[in-house]
Amino acid sequence: MVLDGGLATTLELRGHELNDDLWSARLLVDDPAAIRRVHLDFLLAGADCITTSTYQASLPGFRKRGIDAVAGADLLLKSVRLAVEAREFFWRETGNRRGRIRPIVAASVGPYGASLADGSEYTGDYGVDDSELRAFHKDRWDILSASGADLLACETIPSRTEAMVLRDLLRETPGAWAWLSFSCRDGAHLRDGSAIADVVAACGAEPRVAAIGVNCTAPEYVSELISSIRHATKKPIVVYPNSGETYDASSGQWAGDASYGWDTQPTEWVRLGASGVGGCCRIGPREIAGLRRALL
């Protein structure tokens, strides 16, 4: 399965100013058509799965902008509708004539740190206890799990603690499915230093975890991470690393080389056992089109 790329960074490259605590979710209010267009472009490029613009959206985050809980819930549902509309248009107009599988819509569940907009999603060091973390996630979880998305994409998880909170919410939600995707600092550890094999083993025992993987991680670590995950679970593996560039949270700028391995590495990732491959930050429709050509 070919996954999509980075929604927010694609919007930025198209001239949208996202220097905002809500990031791409700001456009749910200001320019929803732009979000739908990027979803459609990823589908046209070859993505079999698109993720919603809810990564950095949360009811507390909306409240800070003067948006009450009812309106905030409507915006979360709107994000799913935009992705579903793009999928249905694509499938009706072109997709089912190309021999493609019908694409799926994954509702993005970003980490607590994403709502803080301070880079703490890259450390997992939030300064909150488990109950506060659960309370933050539960309201959004309940809305998105009943939104009509095909599954939840719990992504960029930096710590074992947050992984367990999300796994437990899944256990308590009959009928819901999710993948869990971790942000890693090297080929064997989450951002908080937890061994990925241990966390994967704890999460993989949950029947409705549809897949386990890594994202928003440097691509040079992915091959080793796939091997670590495969030794800990038989679940399908999804990988969608960033471009290879490094993000500086203090300046809001990207730096470094964006060319690492994207012409050859995806086939290696599939050979090692990845079932779903895509991109995260700074990977746009052009790169996803190349990825699909390389893999299929």
Q: What is the pLDDT of residue 204?
A: 94
Q: Which residues does residue 105 pair with via DSSP β-bridges, in sequence order? A: 50
Residue 277 CA to residue 266 CA, distance in Å, equals 7
- 1 part of a folded domain: no
Q: How confident is the model at residue 278 (pLDDT cuts 50, 70, 90)?
A: very high
Range of the domain at 251: 7-295
- 257 part of a folded domain: yes
Query: What is the domain count for the chain?
Result: 1
Q: How confident is the model at residue 249 (pLDDT cuts 50, 70, 90)?
A: low
- 97 part of a folded domain: yes
- Mean pLDDT for the stretch of residues 30-46: 95
Q: What is the pLDDT of residue 233?
A: 97
- 14 part of a folded domain: yes
Q: What is the pLDDT of residue 251?
A: 59
Q: Contact at 8 Å (CB) between 154 and 168?
A: no
- 215 part of a folded domain: yes
Residue 236 CA to residue 45 CA, distance in Å, equals 23
Tell me the average pLDDT of the chain. 91
| Residues above pLDDT 70, as percent of the chain | 92
Residue 200 CA to residue 234 CA, distance in Å, equals 10
DSSP 171-187: HTSTT--EEEEE-BSSS
- 203 part of a folded domain: yes
The CATH number for 204's domain is 3.20.20.330
Q: Contact at 8 Å (CB) between 168 and 200?
A: no
Q: How confident is the model at residue 64 (pLDDT cuts 50, 70, 90)?
A: confident
Residue 93 CA to residue 95 CA, distance in Å, equals 6
- Mean pLDDT for the stretch of residues 5-16: 88
- 2 part of a folded domain: no
Q: Contact at 8 Å (CB) between 176 and 204?
A: no
Residue 261 CA to residue 285 CA, distance in Å, equals 17
Residue 290 CA to residue 226 CA, distance in Å, equals 21
- 49 part of a folded domain: yes
The pTM assigned to this predicted structure is 0.94
Q: Residue by residue, what is the 3-state secondary structure of 17-56? A: CCCCCCHHHHHHHHCHHHHHHHHHHHHHHCCCEEECCCCC
Between 265-272 and 285-295, two packed helices, what is the crossing angle to 10 degrees?
Answer: 60
- Mean pLDDT for the stretch of residues 266-294: 94
pLDDT digits (tens, 9 = 90+) for 178-215: 999 999 999 999 999 999 999 999 999 999 999 999 99
pLDDT exceeds cutoff 90 at 224 = yes
pLDDT exceeds cutoff 90 at 96 = no
